[in-house]
Amino acid sequence: MTDLPKEIHIVEEGPREGFQFEKGKIPTGRKIELIDALSATGLKHIQIVSFVDPRRVPGMVDAEDVVRGITPVKGVTYTGLWLNDKGFERALATQRLDVRGTITVGASDAFLKRNQNRTIEEQIASQYPMTRRYKELGVPVTRGGMMAAFGCNYEGDIPVDRVVSLVGEILAIARETDVTLDYVSLADTMAWATPLSVKRVIGAIRDKYPEVEISLHLHDTRGMGLANAYAGLEMGITRFDSAVAGLGGCPFAGHAGAAGNISTEDLVFMCEEMGISTGVDLDALIQCALLAEDIVGHPLPGSVMKGGTLARLRAAR
Amino acid sequence: MTDLPKEIHIVEEGPREGFQFEKGKIPTGRKIELIDALSATGLKHIQIVSFVDPRRVPGMVDAEDVVRGITPVKGVTYTGLWLNDKGFERALATQRLDVRGTITVGASDAFLKRNQNRTIEEQIASQYPMTRRYKELGVPVTRGGMMAAFGCNYEGDIPVDRVVSLVGEILAIARETDVTLDYVSLADTMAWATPLSVKRVIGAIRDKYPEVEISLHLHDTRGMGLANAYAGLEMGITRFDSAVAGLGGCPFAGHAGAAGNISTEDLVFMCEEMGISTGVDLDALIQCALLAEDIVGHPLPGSVMKGGTLARLRAAR
């Protein structure tokens, strides 16, 4: 009936997304508490901090302390995010993170102009020296990424052809710099995707580059997150980014219940209920979601953490 | 690529669901204000009240006043809900509602026992005299309905075969009582459905009863609502119940942002963005969602009302 995958791989981005976004000061110890709890859920990859300018992102002023403070669990990969050389060097300096480079492009000139003061072409060009620099430093480059792949608040709809062609640019950079990518991540940075556009974009990339594995980074700003993830699953996608409890950045702060990334436990629930293995203990993850709510001090958008699991109801009867 | 329908029909249940569920007293005038605003959005069917015991559901004590107070718009059908003879007679007595009978069955003995003190078989048996009574009174019976079609908190998973066989029972009652049903509504009363089970159940019904039109009544308690609606759309479903702003009954009161029915404006957004016509003015509907929030005095779970439309962003550039 469907071609749903047998298992998926989740990159948990809640700690980085959430603590970067939340307004109030969160004690370093509580951040560490959440990360350590997430480490015990079966999640295999947790992005725990970003190395960004603390004047602009005060919530990440203690990034190094967080990295130093966690108790790494064997088999779990801990990563950080950076946006420039300085951040990259800080990540390297911790010596406790899995530091890997990403070949990053963007699908919207207007978005790149605002965020990086670059055109699409300039962004592409910048990735050649960047990738070479990673290689010289012995940092593996294993991932491609595309921002605003499904639409842009400043530019509108993104033509599917452009997305396909940008995947080609990522592959060209990888070829030219002699790196092998595990996958290319498509980010719905501003929540423009619908299930139909997810299928169309993935289908078009598959037509031209059937060998490329695709990952999805989905936002739930307009409530489409899980539907988009399901559309991805139907296209055989096995890699998703998500955030426990739906922690993280949304463009309309102040609205309780407003969503950033898709919620990890909702994604896990959907997958496991459909027979897709995630490797994650849903009950333990829901405890993490409740812990995250306690830490940030306000309701978070995740649904299963409130609605409860079906496994529990099945067991109770 | 997909067999998505060209248009869908929405039954808006927000006023009935919401005002039945909310704890605080809501002035009759404000209920009427919301219903009148919804009447101007292009919605063609609005369920506005339930005729239930006001001692048990205080929010519906003014049902008759609400019905009397609205300004009906031509082309919009206004309906009420009832659970017993007394409620049915109250609905009839208003003389302002479109009163139609439903052949209602339930897929879970445990659920029916708790809610109606009947077995599945007793519920089926009760529908023969009920449908005959409707007919004698000149009340059209045009709809079949099945509660707990996707799972039950008290019984667990519901076998697909049972759902198919219950559709057969509904059709048998209709045949025996000589009524013609427009469609059969499957209710995910306790939010057990996943996109995969939506497809499986609909597929199994189609295999046996290809002539039956199916409608979906979905709850978003576990965050699957829109994904389930999308799965329905992929199966060609064109009838959905929903509630503006996600107003309405959820089993975990007190959680801000906790969801009952799927949000009408999120459903409209998803459909229109995928080229499926709903006949609804999304901007006007979002204004209704914001009005609903103002009326109930707390955040409601709808996403697009917070995240904003894409049409607006497209127009702004």
Containing structural domain, residue A88: 9-316
d(CA A245, CA A243) in angstroms, rounded, equals 6
CA distance A203 to chain B (A): 9
Task: Supply φ then ψ for residue A198, to 5 degrees.
Answer: -60, -45
Residue B3 lies in a domain: no
CA distance A158 to chain B (A): 11
The pLDDT, as a whole number, for residue B254 is 40
CB contact under 8 A, B222 and A308: yes
* Mean pLDDT, rounded, of chain A: 94
Q: Which residue of B has its CA nearest to A2?
A: B196
The pLDDT, as a whole number, for residue A299 is 86
Residue A256, pLDDT > 60, answer: no
Q: Which residue of B has its CA nearest to A198?
A: B274
CB contact under 8 A, A223 and B257: no
Q: A204: part of which helix (H) or strand (E)?
A: helix A195-208
Q: Write out chain A residues lying below 8 Å of B229, CB-based.
A: 227
Residue A253, pLDDT > 80, answer: no
ipTM > 0.90, yes or no: yes
Residue A279 lies in a domain: yes
The pLDDT, as a whole number, for residue B257 is 41
DSSP B26: -
Contact yes or no for A277/A7 (Cβ under 8 A)? yes
The pLDDT, as a whole number, for residue B252 is 39
d(CA B158, CA B305) in angstroms, rounded, equals 34
Residue B2 lies in a domain: no
Residue A141 lies in a domain: yes
Q: Write out chain B residues lying below 8 Å of A192, CB-based.
A: 310
Q: Is B271 a catalytic residue?
A: no
Q: Which residues of chain B have pLDDT under 50?
A: 1, 250-258
The pLDDT, as a whole number, for residue B3 is 79
The pLDDT, as a whole number, for residue B299 is 86
**Nearest CB neighbour to A223, from listed B266, B310, B313:** B266
In chain A, the number of structural domains is 1
Residue A1 lies in a domain: no
Least Cα distance to A169 among A184, A187, A159 occurs for A184
Contact yes or no for A275/A285 (Cβ under 8 A)? no
Residue A250, pLDDT > 50, answer: no
Contact yes or no for A220/A259 (Cβ under 8 A)? yes
Query: Residue B248 burial by CB count (10 A; 0-12/13-18/19+): exposed, middle or buried?
Result: buried
Structure tokens at B225: 């609502």
CA distance B191 to chain A (A): 9
State pLDDT tens for residues A269-311. Answer: 999 999 999 999 999 999 999 999 999 998 888 999 999 999 9
Q: Write out chain A residues lying below 8 Å of B200, CB-based.
A: 1
Residue A4 lies in a domain: no
CB contact under 8 A, A313 and B199: no
CB contact under 8 A, B269 and A229: no
The least confident of A36-45, A256-265, B121-130 is A256-265
3-class state of residue B69 by DSSP:
helix
CA A183 to chain centre: 13
Contact yes or no for A146/A186 (Cβ under 8 A)? yes
Q: For the domain that residue A168 is a member of, what is the CATH number?
A: 3.20.20.70
Q: Write out chain B residues lying below 8 Å of A222, CB-based.
A: 266, 269, 303-304, 307-308, 310
Residue A28, pLDDT > 80, answer: yes
Least Cα distance to A194 among A170, A219, A162, A165 occurs for A219
Structure tokens at B46: 């609005």
Higher pLDDT, B311 or A253: B311
Instruction: Give one word for B254, left, alpha or beta, with left for phi > 0 and alpha for psi -120 to 50.
Output: left
3-class state of residue A51 by DSSP:
strand
Q: Write out chain A residues lying below 8 Å of B247, CB-based.
A: none
Residue A3 lies in a domain: no
CB contact under 8 A, B258 and A303: yes
Alpha-carbon separation of residue B266 from A35, A222, A223, A264 (angstroms) = 33, 7, 7, 21
Query: Residue A297 burial by CB count (10 A; 0-12/13-18/19+): exposed, middle or buried?
Result: exposed
State pLDDT tens for residues B107-116. Answer: 999 999 988 8
